[in-house]
Amino acid sequence: MNLDKFMYQLQLNNPNEPEFIQGVRLFFSSVKDRMQDDFRLSNAAVLERLTEPDRVLIFKVPWLNDEGKVIINRGYRVQYNNALGPYKGGVRFHPALTLGTVKMLAFEQVFKNSLTAIPLGGAMGGANFDPKGKSDAEIMRFCQSYILQLWDVLGPDIDILGGDIGVGSREIGYLFGMYRKLSHQHSGTFTGKSPEWGGTRLKAESNGFGVVYFLKAMLAHYNDSLADKTIAVSGFGNMAHGVIKKAIALGAKVVTISGPDGYVYDPNGIDEHKLEYLIELRATSQDLVRPYSIEYPGTRYFEGRKPWEVDCDIAIPCAIQNEIGEEEAAMLISKKCQYLIEGSDQSCTEEAVQLFSNTSLRYVPSKAANVGGVAISALELAQNNMKMTWSDAEIEQRLQDMVKRTHDLCRSYGEEGNVINYLKGSNVAAFQRVAEAVIDQGAV
């Protein structure tokens, strides 16, 4: 199999989808050795089947703003692959969302879900809608219109929606409400619901907690720990919040947060009290971190810059895809950063990942590092199915076990002497399970 030729053709078939092509190329370059000369894979056209989503939905989302004007957005749902279980994946509301990004995220979700060993397939959706500055009523009308276009292709055994950037428990509430009305069902078709009506406890923290549990497992492998480590974090949403909370609880110092406006450097480290302030800052829906530096003297704000220029032992990007390019990667390497663990999906460009592979910096791709998000979704669905709820302690233990198992699986496929190649380990382990399921279930 000639991978270059395959990728060339894929690019021709999917023009203007660079994020998707990037995700596929990175994935297949680490599993190509596994595929070499495997007659079963080529005969079943596994590669071709895994690079074509089962179904792509693109639809109009009309809604009324508070001035009474009709606004049109574009909605998406990519039901990528359901060989392992019902389609499952988040919904992202972001003004720059494109089909290429949604397809990349759906592709990633298939393998992320495979890694966690939960019986779920992969999907992703969203819209090029900007929640920033919108009123509560506008958000509700938008969510209702979005789900009106999609509700009849969803279901607890068909396709299950969850949160992502721009979609938290408020949005899930509005999406779910309209779905419940249309389908006459109060079912587990959504995750990220409020714990008061079917959601799980610890949802908001779990994605970030999961990243730190993964980090903890990796550090333990290298006889290292989080104690006294300096960490640079980007973003200041749910993911960053959970990461910071757990990292400081385990003795690390987190010195940065960032927003679209720039980043803040806090040499004393973010503490529990400042974390509370971060929640207030988010609630303003302004997407700015500058006020943090005004609130806390002794911190510094760097307009229009990213936090990867500070001295740190560990970097945890928690903002958005491709936030670390070649330049940022080179900066982290020159600052002797030892570990980079992706909180946001596909945080690093291909060039950045390539740079890391020639250094001693340990890199963990998001599909392994941020399994906490979908792991908590699986725990939410389990509670829905059993019609019961677990305590914080029970949930945290299960979450931790799932992340640890994921880490160990990546290790078993990625061990190269004393070092773990997490890129290869996660991709090969994830591919293995999906490929076998696709082959077992025949040409459908």
R_g (Cα) of the chain, nearest Å: 21
* Rounded Cα gap, residues 171 and 182, in angstroms: 17
* Whether the Cβ atoms of residue 224 and residue 216 lie closer than 8 Å to each other: no
Q: How many CA atoms lie within 13 A of 221 on its CB side?
A: 23
Minimum distance, C-beta of residue 127 to ligand GLU, in the bound complex (Å): 15
Specify the residue, 41 or 374, whose C-beta has the smaller distance to ligand GLU: 374
Which segments within 150-261 are labelled E, that is strand? Answer: 159-162, 230-233, 253-254, 256-259
Handedness of CA 415, 420, 424, 427 (dihedral sign): positive
Specify the residue, 77 or 253, whose C-beta has the smaller distance to ligand GLU: 77
Positions touching ligand GLU (CB under 6 A) are 88-90, 112, 162, 164, 191, 370, 373-374, 377
Minimum distance, C-beta of residue 375 to ligand GLU, in the bound complex (Å): 9
Minimum distance, C-beta of residue 426 to ligand GLU, in the bound complex (Å): 14
Minimum distance, C-beta of residue 160 to ligand GLU, in the bound complex (Å): 7
Minimum distance, C-beta of residue 86 to ligand GLU, in the bound complex (Å): 11
Specify the residue, 111 or 265, whose C-beta has the smaller distance to ligand GLU: 111
Query: Which residue, chain included where needed, has tokens 């082959």?
Result: 439
Q: Which two tokens mark 310? A: 């500070």
Q: Are strands 314-316 and 230-233 parallel, antiparallel or unpaired?
A: parallel
* Rounded Cα gap, residues 230 and 247, in angstroms: 10
Specify the residue, 189 or 299, whose C-beta has the smaller distance to ligand GLU: 189
Q: Which two tokens mark 133? A: 């500055």
195 Cβ partners below 8 Å, 6+ apart? Answer: 201, 203, 389
Specify the residue, 188 or 259, whose C-beta has the smaller distance to ligand GLU: 188
Specify the residue, 166 or 373, whose C-beta has the smaller distance to ligand GLU: 373
Alpha carbon distance, N-terminus to C-terminus of the chain: 22
Minimum distance, C-beta of residue 308 to ligand GLU, in the bound complex (Å): 22
Residue closest to ligand GLU, measured at CB: 162
